[in-house]
């Protein structure tokens, strides 16, 4: 009986160790790449801006039903899914490309 307890104790320990080794979680990294419509749109606007040449360069935005005009635009860059716009006074705007109504190298085209 003295060795019977020792045998049962050893079998419980080995079963527990085996169960732990079987249920150990494995780690793996999964990379998901999602193409965004905003990313492509921002890149398109940045490319289109490089083709404009005549000042004044303006960008018209519409946010919450209100039109806003950024005048004297010096640079438009795409940064992932946003547009980074620099105007003549050194101000920098970061905007959603979906808010752009149009880019123009002529006078403002706003119907009042």
Tens-digit pLDDT profile for residues 28-44: 777 666 667 889 999 99
CA nearest neighbour of 80 among 101, 94, 59: 94
Whether residue 41 contacts residue 97, with contact meaning beta carbons closer than 8 Å, is answered with yes
| Whole-number Å distance between alpha carbons of 13 and 63 | 67
Q: Using a pLDDT cut of 90, give the percent of the chain over it.
A: 36
Complete domains list, the chain, with CATH:
37-104 (2.30.30.520)
The mean per-residue pLDDT over the stretch 56-68 comes to: 90
| Whole-number Å distance between alpha carbons of 74 and 92 | 10
Measured in residues, the chain has a length of 112
pTM of full prediction above 0.85: no
């Amino acid at each position: 009986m003295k060795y019977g307890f020792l045998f049962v104790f050893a079998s419980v320990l080995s079963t527990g160790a085996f169960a732990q080794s079987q249920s150990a979680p494995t780690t793996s990294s999964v990379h998901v790449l999602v193409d965004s419509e905003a990313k492509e749109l921002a890149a398109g606007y940045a490319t289109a801006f490089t083709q404009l040449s005549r000042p004044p360069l303006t960008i018209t935005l519409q946010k919450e039903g209100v039109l806003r005009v950024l005048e004297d635009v010096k640079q438009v860059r795409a940064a992932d899914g946003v547009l980074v716009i620099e105007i003549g006074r050194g101000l920098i705007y970061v905007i959603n490309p979906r808010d752009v109504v149009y880019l123009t190298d002529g006078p403002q085209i706003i119907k009042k």
